[in-house]
Amino acid sequence: MNRISFVTAASIFAVFMHGPAQAQTTIELDQDGNPFLSIPLDDTQPVTINPETGELRATAASGFSCSTGGCEDVQVSFASADGGFFIVDGGSSTSVPETGSVTFDWGARGAWECQGSGLPGTNWNNPGKLPFGPFIVSVSNLAPGNYDAGLTCSNGAGNVDSATTVQINVQESSLQIPPQCQGRQPASAVATPICVTDDRGNPRGDINCFAYASVFGGEFPGSTQGKDFFTDIDQYVAMEFSTAGLTESDGRWNRVPPQVPPTTTGSKIWTISQCPGDFDREAITSEMGDSDCYVKTADVLLPSVRWHRAGTQEPIGGACELQPNQTYFMNIMYSTDPAGTPPANLTWDCQSNSAAQSCSDNIAPNFNQ
């Protein structure tokens, strides 16, 4: 079965059908040999076919809509078996500062248009969305708190389906430190929500660096794609992640020289902790029950902190043990201070380069199943 997509000025219609489709001034769709929809095309626009998926996209003539008839038997579906999905920042939940944004992505088979819900005062709740993402939404109009974002799609013929909601935690613009975690953050530095650059070296402000899933493209441990990661002077990063659903046995983060400016790099302190911005080695070792959850890379080419899932064999050389269904923070700060330096005395430093205003690496998750 091939997936066929027709693009109009406002929306895209996607169905599954038997047999191949030919690009022409009118596309006739049939199922099991029975015609059910005739779609006039805009012959000034290209027709493309994805050779891997069989998906065909063409631009429908102005004025055509699914509601004109022929869609009564086309069911709308978010089911994974039908290729449907709905995620935010690469997963089912995310945390974002109130000055930031989130990225929704979805696919709804058989849909003509979609409407979001759950984020009042944002453009997510506006109708007329395409039946697939991505779509970036600013949360600056939302008060800090928890929100359940939904998505409903239809095809104009009365066929509707709604996706399972995703959770968004809007945080105050500064990192919120729980009472039990106070005093474990660097006294001379602050957490930054921006830590990724694009292929031209520009800060990616649409990526929320308080959320691991936003930075590394999905729920922990994320994708293996490298990210050009940086922090400015007197900044550190605290990324929240969850081990719910974690199936990988162990992993770490590979580091190579940064691909785009800033290209200055240096040693750093990596920690995995139950507290955001935690660089207190003694407290981390005590709470995590593992000295491997705090790592100081004395050389810029040394690997990062390592981890392994509880119940799996610990890798040779040691690794921070992660319990199931827990929330952790991966904390990173560039510094040449010795391992174990108390947070109150910890200073940001990019390999003793007094002129450096930023320090960076290209960082990629590396893990075993």
Write the pLDDT tens digit of every residue in 299-311.
655 668 899 999 8
Q: In this predicted structure, what is the pLDDT of residue 64?
A: 65
Residue 104, domain member (yes or no): yes
Position 33 pLDDT exceeds 80: no
Same domain, residue pair 105 and 24: no
Q: Count CA atoms within 13 Å of residue 103 on its CB side.
A: 17
Same domain, residue pair 196 and 332: yes
Q: In this predicted structure, what is the pLDDT of residue 166?
A: 95
What pLDDT, in 10s, does the model give residues 158-201?
789 999 999 998 877 678 889 999 999 999 999 998 899 988 88
Q: Mean pLDDT across the stretch 231-254?
A: 92
Q: Mean pLDDT across the stretch 336-358?
A: 91
Position 344 pLDDT exceeds 70: yes
Residue 242 DSSP symbol: E
Q: Is 86 in a helix, a strand, or coil?
A: strand
The mean pLDDT value of the chain amounts to: 83
User: Identity (one letter) of the amino acid at 120?
Assistant: P
Residue 75, domain member (yes or no): no
Q: Which of 128, 143, 171 finishes a domain?
A: 171
Residue 72, domain member (yes or no): no
CB atoms within 10 A of CB 332: 24
Closest CA to 53 of 79, 83, 32: 83
SS percent in the chain: helix, strand, coil, step 5: 10, 40, 55
Q: Give the DSSP H/E element, type plus range, for residue 162.
A: strand 160-162
Q: Tell me the CATH number at 148.
A: 2.60.40.3450
Locate 339 and state its tokens: 């391992």
Same domain, residue pair 339 and 302: yes
Report how far residue 16's alpha carbon sits from residue 109's, in angstroms, rounded to the nearest whole number. 8
Number of domains in the chain: 3
Residue 256, domain member (yes or no): yes
Q: Mean pLDDT across the stretch 95-122?
A: 88
Position 87 pLDDT exceeds 90: yes
| Spatial contact of 118 and 169, defined as CB atoms under 8 Å apart | no
Residue 292, domain member (yes or no): yes
Q: In this predicted structure, what is the pLDDT of residue 297?
A: 86
Upstream peptide bond of 338 is cis (omega within 30 degrees of 0):
no
Query: Which residues are registered as beta bridge partners of 173?
Result: none
Q: Which of 171, 204, 231 finishes a domain?
A: 171
Same domain, residue pair 144 and 232: no
Same domain, residue pair 191 and 288: yes
Please classify residue 368 by burial: count the beta carbons closer than 10 Å to its beta carbon, then call 0-12 exposed, 13-18 middle and 19+ buried.
exposed
Express as a percent the part of the chain with pLDDT over 70. Answer: 83
Q: Mean pLDDT across the stretch 97-110?
A: 86
Position 286 pLDDT exceeds 90: yes
For Cα atoms 137, 141, 142, give the angle at the middle one, nearest 5 degrees: 90
Residue 224, domain member (yes or no): yes
51 band by pLDDT with thresholds 50, 70 and 90:
confident
For Cα atoms 165, 213, 130, give the angle at the middle one, nearest 5 degrees: 50
- Give the CA distances from residue 310 to residues 170, 321, 329, 330, in Å, rounded to whole numbers and listed in that order: 30, 6, 17, 17
What pLDDT, in 10s, does the model give residues 61-83?
766 666 555 566 678 889 988 88
Same domain, residue pair 10 and 106: no
Same domain, residue pair 161 and 183: no
Residue 258, domain member (yes or no): yes
248 band by pLDDT with thresholds 50, 70 and 90:
very high
| Spatial contact of 231 and 270, defined as CB atoms under 8 Å apart | no
Same domain, residue pair 316 and 195: yes
Same domain, residue pair 315 and 249: yes
Same domain, residue pair 138 and 234: no
Q: Which of 171, 199, 219 finishes a domain?
A: 171
Give just the sign of the alpha carbon dihedral 167, 172, 176, 179.
negative
What pLDDT, in 10s, does the model give residues 1-26?
223 343 333 333 443 333 344 444 77
Q: In this predicted structure, what is the pLDDT of residue 149?
A: 97
Q: In this predicted structure, what is the pLDDT of residue 69?
A: 54
Q: In this predicted structure, what is the pLDDT of residue 169?
A: 84
Residue 141, domain member (yes or no): yes
Same domain, residue pair 164 and 186: no
Report how far residue 329's alpha carbon sits from residue 291's, in angstroms, rounded to the nearest whole number. 16
Position 256 pLDDT exceeds 80: yes
Q: In this predicted structure, what is the pLDDT of residue 7?
A: 37
Q: Which are the contacts of 305, defined by CB distance < 8 A and separation ≥ 6? A: 252, 253, 270, 271, 272, 292, 293, 294, 295, 320, 330
Range of the domain at 301: 179-368
Total-model pTM: 0.62
Same domain, residue pair 87 and 103: yes
Beta strands in 32-107 (DSSP E): 34-40, 48-49, 56-59, 85-88, 93-97, 101-107
Residue 283 DSSP symbol: H
